[in-house]
Structure 1
Amino acid sequence: MRTVIQRVSHASVSIGCHCKSAIQGGLLILLGIEEADNEEDIDWLCRKITGLRIFDDENGVMNRSILETGGDILVISQFTLMASYKKGNRPSYIRAAGHTTAIPLYESFCRKLGEALGKPVQTGEFGAEMKVDLLNHGPVTICMDTKNKE
Structure 2
Amino acid sequence: MKFRTCLLAVTAIVFITAGCENEEACLSNQHSVQAGFFSAWSQTDKDSTLNEVSLFGLEREDSIYTRESLSELFIPLDFERDTVSFAVVARTMKDTLRIAYQKELDFISRDCGYIFSFQIDTVWHSNAFIDSVAIEYTDIKYGETVENIKLYIY
Q: Same fold (TM over 0.5)?
A: no
Which structure has greater helix proportion? 1
TM-score, normalising length: structure 2:
0.28
Specify the structure having the higher radius of gyration (Cα): 2
Which structure has greater strand proportion? 2
TM-score, normalising length: structure 1:
0.28
Q: Return the structure number with greater relative CO, CA threshold 8 A, min gap 6.
A: 1
